[in-house]
Structure 1
Amino acid sequence: MIIVTGGAGFIGSAMVWKLNTMGFDNILIVDNLGHEEKWKNLTGLRYSDYLHRDQLMVALDQSEKNPFEGLQAIVHMGACSSTTETDAEFLMSNNYRFSQLLAKFSLQNGVRFINASSGATYGDGSQGFNDDIQTMRVLKPLNMYGYSKQLFDLWAYRQGILQALVSLKFFNVYGPNEYHKGDMMSVVCKAHKQITDTGTLKLFRSYRDDYGNGEQKRDFIYVKDIVDVMAWFLENPHANGVFNVGTGKARTWNDLANAVFAAMGREPKIEYIDMPDHLREKYQYFTQAPVDKLRSAGYKAEFTPLEQGVRDYVVNYLNKDDPYMDTYGD
């Protein structure tokens, strides 16, 4: 058995899809479906059972022994991923404490633990983007979400268990099954709708002289690459620690916009708009994930180029009436 927390969410459901393509369906999905439509992410996937997050926390907190027979791994994608969430207590409980509980349980029971950290831990990037201990200890995230992820990595380091688990710093992820995320959907997904509805894509203008409008850069990574990396860590239990997961190559918002227009067969039409005041001081103008550490650990697969990933996403998912990942037909 493999537990996937956040298994109905964006990356979590993509990971279930990946496990299904590998022939694995003894999967316990843990989530909080609430009133969102992320349940639709599950309709094309194979899994053995579903459990509410709170029920899992009670089961692990009260059981003297492992209540899950045959459990091999916990892939922990279950967290609030909103960079604009302001309820700090909620983030401390949902992102930090829950992760601690799962990590402790996993290590006590010999269960592989793979955790979702975030590139948001790097803050404004002034300390660099290296996934080493020295950098990790001095980072100052720009939002509470990034701080909640940073706290877990630091806790694991102080506990001396960081080399017994995997914590992955995801950069800008895009791809199918993100449709329930509202404002937190990738710009690829938002762009497809904007272009379909209006023929135009709106991007934030730059407020720095060293970056032109739309020339702010991000390390965009396709969700199918993300789950390939996690599957590799499941199959390589010797590899542990904190790792960046990005392509290692920053691209501009204009590059991304042009890729979406091209995938939709349209000429680019971009409008640059004012950034909301509350975002201006917290906006990252550049992110790029050094992946040397991941490569040194043994991961050799190439990452999907931006144009290729966007095309696959647009043509095989966003352009279709049913855009969800599906393994029942495989």
Structure 2
Amino acid sequence: MIVITGAAGFISSCLIQKLNSEGFYDLVLVDDFSRPEQNKNFQGKRYSQLVERDVFLEWIVQNHLHIQFIFHLGARTDTTEFNRTLLDELNLDYSKKVWNACVEFGLPLVYASSAATYGLGENGYDDDESALSHLKPLNPYGESKNDFDIWALQQERSPYFWAGLKFFNVYGPNEYHKKRMASVVFHTFNQIKETGGMKLFQSHNPKFKDGEQMRDFVYVKDVTEVLFFFMLHRKNSGIYNLGSGEARTFLDLANNTFRALGKEPQIAFIPTPEDIRDKYQYFTEANMTKLRSIGYHKPFHTLEEGVSDYVTNYLVSGSYL
């Protein structure tokens, strides 16, 4: 059995499709399944069991002999969440328990970290494990992810194979439920449908013009390819960046969405909401050398390729991956 936590979510549900396409069907999906709007993400996919998040750790004890691999991708991912108790419970303490179960029962583990750990990028975007304690995340979500990365590296006992993946700005099908946290491609598509235009955030940083804030946007299909690679690779444990390796502007993202729809861009700028203005990353770019050094050689989608595929094959038709 292959276990996937956060299975009703964005990246996890796309991973289910990737595993199905590779002939893996004995999948155990773990999540809080009380949200029917998200459960659409795994409908039509092949799996063997659904396990509720709150009984998953007990389930591992009873079923560990049958588990081949655990992808722990479930988390509270809202960067505007400031309830530290909730983030500690779901992102830190729960992950520690999953880690310890993997140690106890000899199970390989891949878990989701985040580029939010890098903060403003004062120390760059290198996945250097020795520098984790120097990172300055901008919000409690990023702090919870960095706290777990640091904790994992401090453990005397580790799963025989483990990897923590720092996801950068992932976009693609199955993210419709993320609302405010969904990608700019998703929001651009919907605003174009409703108004014919798109509103991007103004820059409140004199180093960047409006719309020229830059992020490392990575297509979810590339993310699932890397996750699948680690499931087969099972060596070189550690923490890795998972981005495209190339920063692009939000204008690039929006313009490519208009282009995929065959429309002329109509873009206006609005103030960045005050609750996130002082915690806003103006530039991110993953150093992908470490992942490449262990043998991952597949090319990543360019922004143009990824946006075109997402818009024309999923958003226009309302399809799921």
TM-score range, shorter chain: over 0.9
Aligned counterpart for 2:130 among listed residues 109, 130, 134: 134
Alignment of 1:1-330 (within 5 A): 1-60=1-60, 63=61, 67-160=63-156, 161=158, 164-321=161-318, 323-325=319-321
Using the TM superposition, give the Cα deviation of residue 111 of structure 1 relative to its aligned residue in structure 2, in angstroms: 1.2
Residues 197-228 of structure 1: per-residue CA shift (max 9 Å, x gap): 11111000111221110000000000000000
Q: CA deviation at 1:57?
A: 2.7
Deviation at 1:86, TM superposition (A): 1.4
Change in 2 beyond 3 A, CA 1:163/1:58: closer
Contact 1:36 1:180 (C-alpha < 8 Å) held by counterparts: no
Whether the 8 Å contact between 2:222 and 2:301 is mirrored in structure 1 is yes
Q: Is the 8 A contact 2:258 2:264 kept in 1?
A: yes
Gaps of 5+ in 2: none
SS at match of 2:66: coil
Change in Cα spacing, 1:51 to 1:88, as seen in structure 2 (3 Å) is same
Q: Distance in 2 between matches of 1:292 and 1:236?
A: 17
In structure 1, list runs of 5 or more residues that go unmatched: 326-330
For residues 269 and 159 of structure 2, the distance between their equivalents in structure 1, rounded to whole angstroms, comes to: 43
Q: CA deviation at 1:67?
A: 2.2
Superposition deviation, residue 275 in structure 1:
1.0
CA RMSD of aligned residues (A): 1.3
Q: How far apart are the structure 2 equivalents of 1:20 and 1:268?
A: 37
Once residues 55 and 18 of structure 1 are traced to their aligned partners in structure 2, the CA distance between those partners, rounded to angstroms, is 26
Distance 1:275 1:34 in 2: 33
Letter in 2 for 1:2: I
Amino acid at match of 2:240: F
| Identity within the alignment, % | 45
Residues 59-79 of structure 1: per-residue CA shift (max 9 Å, x gap): 34xx4xx52442110001110
Contact 1:233 1:239 in 2 (8 A): no
TM-score by length of 2: 0.97
Query: Structure 2 CA distance, aligned partners of 1:238 and 1:187?
Result: 35
1:198–1:130 Cα change, 3 Å: same
Q: Is the 8 A contact 2:68 2:108 kept in 1?
A: yes
- Contact kept, 8 Å, 1:124 with 1:142, in 2: the verdict is yes
Distance 1:196 1:311, change over 3 A: same
Aligned-partner Cα distance in 2 for 1:198–1:228: 35
Cα distance, 1:162 vs. partner?
8.4
Offset of 1:87 from its aligned partner?
A: 1.2
Q: Give TM-score scaled by structure 1 length.
A: 0.94
Shift of 1:35: 3.1
